């Protein structure tokens, strides 16, 4: 006699339920310093919360209930007046909380100013092979929100617009370096564009020829010796900087000297490339 066993697989029923959250509006507004703003936290009825039990924080600090307004049992607004510039470039965090501290929703506030016209754009080339430029932000330089500075350049009479890619950071962040592929004997137009969420502006255009802004490495292996037994004559010898050896132009050198206790420099001009 055979016994048959039937295996019944029971698949448990899994109940998926949506997570109910509050809606905060407006989301991530961008505002000028001194503006006023009203932000609303709207509750879903399924949360079972009353708007009168909620509270707001700005950058972690609880806001006074005197700035709240309950339009209904499900809606709580907060009004902020005369806003200061954002404390952080990523925006100030305005958050709606339940009575127990749980976060129901939030918004980032970007409060600042449009950029002002960049100033003092200057550039120089090292051994006619590259180009470095620096500038100053306009006004006080602080917009309180992220501001992008872009160094643009193009050949004056032809060629397409290009953007410098090697921007410095830290204290030298208002500068950029173009390492190669620069044309000689043709002037460039160079300018800086400043852009943020509140506006954009550009510096004046600077026109320059690379050869007019060249700086070189200093002469190498400088040697000074007396001429025979003469006490009032010296011979100065040096070697050309290695980076100048493959440049077509003749280098000019200048010798400056002064007496030990004097502040007045005297100058000797020389036109030899290999003294």
Domains in the chain with CATH codes: 23-112 (2.60.40.10), 119-214 (2.60.40.10), 217-270 (no CATH)
Q: Which long-range contacts (CB under 8 A, 24 or more apart) does 164-170 make?
A: 164/133
**3 state SS of 210:** helix
Tell me, rounded to whole angstroms, the distance of Cα 206 from its chain centroid: 21
Q: Rounded to the nearest 10 degrees, how much is the dihedral formed by the CA atoms of 71, 77, 80, 81?
A: -10
Q: Rounded to the nearest 10 degrees, how much is the dihedral formed by the CA atoms of 124, 125, 126, 127?
A: -140
**Closest Cα to residue 273, out of 247, 258, 264?**
247
Distance CA 119, CA 149 (A): 12
**3 state SS of 142:** coil
Distance CA 41, CA 79 (A): 12
Local mean pLDDT, 10-residue blocks, the chain (275 residues): 37 36 93 96 89 95 95 94 91 95 94 95 92 92 90 91 92 90 92 96 96 86 86 85 72 84 86 49
Distance CA 60, CA 56 (A): 9
Considering the entire predicted model, what is its pTM?
0.74
């Amino acid at each position: 006699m055979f016994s048959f066993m039937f295996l019944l697989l029971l698949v448990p029923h899994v109940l998926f339920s949506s997570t109910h959250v509050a809606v905060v509006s407006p989301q991530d507004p961008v505002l000028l310093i001194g503006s006023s703003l009203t932000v609303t936290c709207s509750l879903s009825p399924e949360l079972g919360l009353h708007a009168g039990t909620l509270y707001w924080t700005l950058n972690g600090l609880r806001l006074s209930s005197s700035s709240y307004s309950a339009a209904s049992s499900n809606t709580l607004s907060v009004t902020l007046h005369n806003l200061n510039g954002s404390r952080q470039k990523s925006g100030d965090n305005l958050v709606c909380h339940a009575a127990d501290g749980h976060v129901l929703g939030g918004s980032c506030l970007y409060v600042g100013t449009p950029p002002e016209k960049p100033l003092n754009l200057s550039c120089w080339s090292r051994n006619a092979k590259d180009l470095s430029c620096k500038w100053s932000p306009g006004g006080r330089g602080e917009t309180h929100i992220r501001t992008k500075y872009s160094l643009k350049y193009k050949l004056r009479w032809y060629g397409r617009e290009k953007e410098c890619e090697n921007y410095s950071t830290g204290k030298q962040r208002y500068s950029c370096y173009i390492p190669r592929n620069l044309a000689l004997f043709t002037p460039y137009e160079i300018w800086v564009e400043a852009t943020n969420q509140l506006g954009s502006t550009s510096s004046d255009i600077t026109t320059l020829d690379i050869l007019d802004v060249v700086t070189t490495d200093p002469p190498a292996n400088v040697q000074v010796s007396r001429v025979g037994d003469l006490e009032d004559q010296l011979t100065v010898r040096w070697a050309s900087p290695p980076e100048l050896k493959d440049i077509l132009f003749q280098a000019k050198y200048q010798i400056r000297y002064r007496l030990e206790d004097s502040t007045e420099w005297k100058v000797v001009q020389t036109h030899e490339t290999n003294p």
